[in-house]
A and B are shown apart, each in its own frame.
Chain A
Amino acid sequence: MALHGGQFTRMRIPVETFHLDNGLFVTLSEDHTAPIVAVNLWYHVGSANERAGRTGFAHLFEHMLFQGSAHVGVNEHFELIQRAGGTLNGSTWLERTNYFETVPSNELALALWLEADRMGELLPAMTQEKLDNQRDVVKNERRWAVDNQPYGTMLEKMQELVFPPSHPFQHSLIGSMEDLSAASLDDIAQFFTTYYTPDNAVLSIAGDFDSEEARKLVTKYFGPIPKGKGKPPLPPMNLPPVFGGWLREVVQDNVSLPRLFMAFRSPIFGSEEYYDASVASAILGMRKGSRLHRSLVRERQIAADAGAFTFDLAKGTDLMVVDVTARPEVSVAQLEEEVDREIELVYREGVAESEVKRAIALIETDLVVSLQSAGERADRLSMFATYFNQPGLINEQADRYRSVTTERVNDLISERLGEDNRASLLYVPKEGVETESVLAAAGTG
């Protein structure tokens, strides 16, 4: 194996691409600084593709991919990768599902072979017993991460509040217990045949490998897998840029402190305006110098914590979310008033240039930090290839952020942070707080 080059030139990483005849999109990025290689697969399917009555299925299916395939025994995928000295996992999101491993570079073939075996021949290994077992595991994952965790229902409550009924992003990602119980082996077969096809996937390899060698291995293992027959189109995803009002929901939950999540529809991930929104979000809630932290945590001392983030959805609409947890002595009404005032202030007066600079400087450092890890590089290559067919966008992120101006951020804020585009999801401690008075205090009746 030739071990040369691969030196990153400041913040640019090398990117090569090719397609197999069966439609598999492959991206490669060499770096020989350590004998490590990351393999990462994105399937362009997520909870948005689930049919009615099968919420949680995309994620349950992700679990089944670790239960063996034609030539791999149950749990053997984990064992073989760990024996090789690798780390691995998978994750499911609204728009995609990914599977990834980082291994010593002399084990690249093993990682590719394992991924190809389950892409090509998963179904012979599927049994009712395995499905029942993983269904129990996933139900316990739901209990652990959602039901028995304070604010654990935030994602599903937020999806329900901000997306219209029947929108593909509206239903729960982890799924309901009923729907998980209903999932069958037939569903597995159908989902696999429809979505787990080479032409609906991106394979990325980042780290210490030889490009020629990697192409040969990919062609050998993935080449024989037949192309899919196409997937059903998603229902229309597009939504108006604003909610058209102020949506509100109050959740009485087993929590100690009130916490307000306020969401705004924002430009989809990858659009030019997305970067303005991302900077606006960082100005509001990234780190201690952000507006919300400075004002609500440090100066006014009404919040135990404050932040903001974007969902980074590439279809329909993205969401920008402000997240503020009250201090114990602060009432629910006061929490809402204080957050509203901050949002109103930035909406009316906009932000200053120094705030934009601070946000971009922090984001840029985070970008470089993330490129250190082969797994992160491979994941981002897959992401840009899956969403936009352009893995090379990985190298353009810093420039896109640098081109954001104060004027652009302020335009975004006046378009998206008004009262016609707010959704408040408010968690209040179960005992002693009346929902009606909370709503009355918030002025909605």
Chain B
Amino acid sequence: MATTLRPKPGEARSYQFPDFRDEKLPGGIRLVTAPVVKLPLATVLVIVDAGSTSDPAGEEGVAALTAGTLLEGSTRFDGAELAEKFEQLGTSVESGADWDSAFIKITTVSDKLEDATRLLGEAISSPIFPEREVERLKAERLAEILQLETEPRGLADEKFSEFLYTPDSRYSKPDEGTAESVRALSRKDVDEFYRARYRTGSTTVILAGDISTDASRALINGAFQNWPSGAGRSQSLVAAARTPGRSIHVVNKPEAPQSELRVGHIGLPRNHPDFFPTLLMNAVLGGLFGSRINLNLREAHGYTYGASSFYDWRRGPGPFVVSTAVQSEVTAAALREILVEIDRIRSERISEDELSLARDYLDRVFPIRYETTAAIASALATLVIYDLPTDYYGSYRRNIRAVTADRVLRAAKAHLHPDQLQTVMVGDAQVIADSVADLNLGELRIDGS
């Protein structure tokens, strides 16, 4: 048999996630350091418990705007000067807010690390949020919102969240805010948000790369000596469903060559005890190239360039969503196949072959994920943000291997909810609306011309 030609794997070399140290600095900042010696590089990642879910009601987008304006002017330098200073050091600061935290990040060559980190600490400890820059970033956000009108992928994602969560849930609105909420934001809102949230007690600094723990500690103690002390304000999150049963929404784009599809429901919080079986279940359903949904829609039917599913893991229950773009004419047929796959994985045990594909992949790909200082820093941030155990990465592969087909079936039954599916289609209503009517996906609403 030809398959006997196939080479067998050699003996696997062991791999360990980089050793790291997790400590509290005297000033109250949490410091996580992972010395990695490979290239003369290091990443400094500051995370603050000031993500978009901390936006006060009516001020959606203030977390993102605050993080975005943080480097746009300090008591000593204006925004242009700051950009110039960092870039002369060969680095530039990325800052922003995702749902669960604000982040400020630089990657530099080793011999510029000290200067760049000192400058970073000083700048973000003394931001002045100039009115002009706040207004400029607001205008840039409004331009982005306008662009979404003609960008079907982003529009579908946004509409899906809107239809998924009750309007008082922060998750129902874009993380960077709506046109209405962004227009209403002021310099004062940003300044207040910063003062309430950016505190030693809510801040972690992560250093990964070509620097020792001792040197990191000395560097951060100095660079962040003026970081405001105290605990950051916290806020609870609403994440309830908007519609009790199924419903389907068409965002009409006449003559669109494809329909962007999003099908799903509210998923699970990151700290859910079924995280590992659910991760594997999703890998088989739509997470991998060789998943059921992709092989069905792409390889068997040629409906799409790609189809996938995922759980958006957040502190609160983020969406579970199947996502694809299909040729307009086959929209209903593709949707039917997605429903079939969701039902099938809930009704029968996955095969040993499917289980081992997903399990082997997730287990063995582990070392490939941490090749860069930025990836290691980001993995450490995940530990902090979701309060995962210190040995999370040490035990990750064991936890993956412990998942069985029975546990996958139980996760599918417990965490996939065909009766709650919300469907969003951005496409040509004339071509797709009638054909999807008999799929029993709930009340159909059509938005737009």
Residues on A lying within 8 angstroms of B by beta carbon are 1, 3, 8, 10-11, 31, 33-36, 70-71, 74-75, 78-80, 82-87, 102, 104-110, 112-113, 132-141, 143-145, 147-150, 208, 254-257, 287-289, 294, 297-299, 301, 304-305, 325, 327-328, 354, 357-358, 361-362, 364-365, 368-369, 371-374
Contacting pair A140 B326 (CB below 8 A): yes
A sample of 30 inter-chain contacts (CB < 8 A) reads A3-B13, A33-B37, A35-B12, A35-B14, A36-B367, A71-B3, A79-B357, A82-B365, A86-B365, A104-B9, A104-B364, A110-B6, A112-B7, A113-B5, A133-B299, A137-B302, A139-B327, A140-B304, A148-B258, A150-B147, A256-B147, A289-B87, A298-B79, A328-B142, A358-B84, A361-B90, A362-B92, A364-B109, A365-B90, A372-B371
From known contacts A255-B150, A371-B39, infer whether A294 and B327 are also in contact, taking CB-CB under 8 Å: no
Across the two chains, which residue of chain B brings its CB closest to A89?
B289
Contacting pair B143 A143 (CB below 8 A): no
Q: A150-B147, A327-B143 are in contact. List 4 more A-B contacts (CB 8 A).
A: A71-B2, A87-B365, A105-B10, A106-B12
Q: How far is the CA of A171 from the CA of B315 in the complex (A)?
A: 48
Q: B interface, how many residues as a size bin?
A: 35 or more
From known contacts A71-B3, A365-B107, A369-B41, infer whether A288 and B92 are also in contact, taking CB-CB under 8 Å: yes
Contacting pair A85 B366 (CB below 8 A): yes
Q: Say if the beta carbon of B195 comes within 8 Å of chain A.
A: no
Contacting pair B361 A288 (CB below 8 A): no
From known contacts A82-B357, A86-B365, infer whether A113 and B13 are also in contact, taking CB-CB under 8 Å: no
Contacting pair B257 A147 (CB below 8 A): yes
Q: How far is the CA of A274 from the CA of B365 in the complex (A)?
A: 37
Contacts of A147 in B (CB 8 A): 257-258
Q: Contact string, B3-45, partner A, CB cutoff 8 A, digits 1/0?
A: 1011111111111000000000000000000000111110000
Q: Say if the beta carbon of B91 comes within 8 Å of chain A.
A: yes
Contact among A10, A144, A148 with B40 in the assembled complex (CB-CB below 8 Å): A10
Contacting pair B38 A372 (CB below 8 A): yes
Contacts of B41 in A (CB 8 A): 365, 368-369, 372
Contacting pair A368 B151 (CB below 8 A): no
From known contacts A102-B368, A106-B12, A369-B41, infer whether A83 and B6 are also in contact, taking CB-CB under 8 Å: no
Q: How far is the CA of A174 from the CA of B381 in the complex (A)?
A: 39
Contacting pair A1 B10 (CB below 8 A): yes
Contacting pair B9 A107 (CB below 8 A): yes
Contacts of B367 in A (CB 8 A): 34-36, 104
Output the least CB separation between A38 and chain B (Å).
Answer: 9
Contacting pair A144 B88 (CB below 8 A): no
Contacting pair B109 A365 (CB below 8 A): yes
Contacts of B437 in A (CB 8 A): none
Contacting pair B109 A82 (CB below 8 A): no
Contacts of A357 in B (CB 8 A): 88
Contact among B2, B87, B142 with A362 in the assembled complex (CB-CB below 8 Å): B87
Contacting pair A287 B83 (CB below 8 A): yes
Q: How far is the CA of A90 from the CA of B63 in the complex (A)?
A: 38
Output the least CB separation between A304 and chain B (Å).
Answer: 4
Q: How far is the CA of A134 from the CA of B151 in the complex (A)?
A: 25
Most B Cβ at <10 Å: residue of A71, A84, A256, A371: A256
Q: Say if the beta carbon of B373 comes within 8 Å of chain A.
A: yes
Contacting pair A137 B40 (CB below 8 A): no
Contacting pair B365 A109 (CB below 8 A): no
Contacts of A136 in B (CB 8 A): 302-303
Q: How far is the CA of A298 from the CA of B132 in the complex (A)?
A: 10
Contacting pair A36 B92 (CB below 8 A): no
Residues on B lying within 8 angstroms of A by beta carbon are 2-3, 5-15, 37-41, 79-80, 83-84, 86-92, 107-109, 136, 139-140, 142-144, 146-153, 256-258, 260, 288-290, 295, 298-300, 302-305, 325-327, 356-357, 360-361, 363-368, 370-374
From known contacts A70-B2, A148-B257, infer whether A373 and B372 are also in contact, taking CB-CB under 8 Å: yes
Output the least CB separation between B17 and chain A (Å).
Answer: 10
Contact among A35, A75, A112, A373 with B295 in the assembled complex (CB-CB below 8 Å): A75
Most A Cβ at <10 Å: residue of B11, B150, B152, B288: B150
Contacting pair B364 A85 (CB below 8 A): yes
Contacts of A358 in B (CB 8 A): 84, 87-88
Output the least CB separation between A99 and chain B (Å).
Answer: 15
Contacts of B365 in A (CB 8 A): 82, 85-87
Contacting pair A82 B143 (CB below 8 A): no
Contacts of A1 in B (CB 8 A): 10
Across the two chains, which residue of chain A brings its CB closest to B295?
A75
Contacts of B88 in A (CB 8 A): 354, 357-358, 361
Output the least CB separation between A8 and chain B (Å).
Answer: 6
Contacting pair B2 A110 (CB below 8 A): no
Contacting pair B89 A361 (CB below 8 A): yes
Q: How far is the CA of A34 from the CA of B39 in the complex (A)?
A: 13
Contact among B15, B147, B290, B371 with A374 in the assembled complex (CB-CB below 8 Å): B371
Q: How far is the CA of A144 from the CA of B261 in the complex (A)?
A: 12
Contacts of A140 in B (CB 8 A): 258, 302-305, 325-327
Across the two chains, which residue of chain A brings its CB closest to B143?
A304
Contacting pair A364 B90 (CB below 8 A): yes
Across the two chains, which residue of chain A brings its CB closest to B81?
A289
Most A Cβ at <10 Å: residue of B2, B305, B373: B305
